[in-house]
Amino acid sequence: MELDHVNITAPMETLKRVRDFYAQVLGLTEGERPNFRRNGFWLYGNGRAILHLIDGEVSGDQPEKPYLDHIAFRTDALEPVKQRLDALGVANHLMDVPGRNVRQLVFFDPVGNKVEVNAVV
């Protein structure tokens, strides 16, 4: 079993900001997307559509605040990501995972999702 993708649903104007944010900060690229009923974007990393963005409101049957804590990505180099966040004025912090050779960069995207980027150090 492995993670296939993460989906974010928001109104289109917000979704465009989210798309641009992940492209600027993580270098994800917009790519081919099936012609679904609702508009949106698929963002690719390493040749896979790992972040799906869908136009719309959060479903009425979801809790007021869904319990997703964060989205995590893996990279070989954290410093370029941190530099892009700093250039965009996005608050972020670095932390080391206790007992592991992993450093994490943590920040929030334009719709308030916590994002973690991990790298082996």
Assess if CATH 3.10.180.10 describes domain 6-58+69-120: yes
* 24-37: pLDDT as tens digits: 999 999 999 999 98
End-to-end CA distance of the chain: 26
Q: What is the pLDDT of residue 2?
A: 79
pLDDT in tens, 74-112: 999 999 999 999 999 999 999 999 999 999 999 999 999
Residue 87's pLDDT is 97
In the chain, where are the structural domains located?
6-58+69-120
Nearest to 84 by CA among 42, 7, 28, 9: 28
Write down the pLDDT at residue 65. 63
Other C-beta atoms lying within 10 Å of the C-beta of residue 117: 23
pLDDT tens for 38-79 read: 999 999 999 999 999 999 876 666 666 666 779 999 999 999
- What pLDDT does 83 receive? 97
Cα gap 101→78, rounded to integer Å: 13
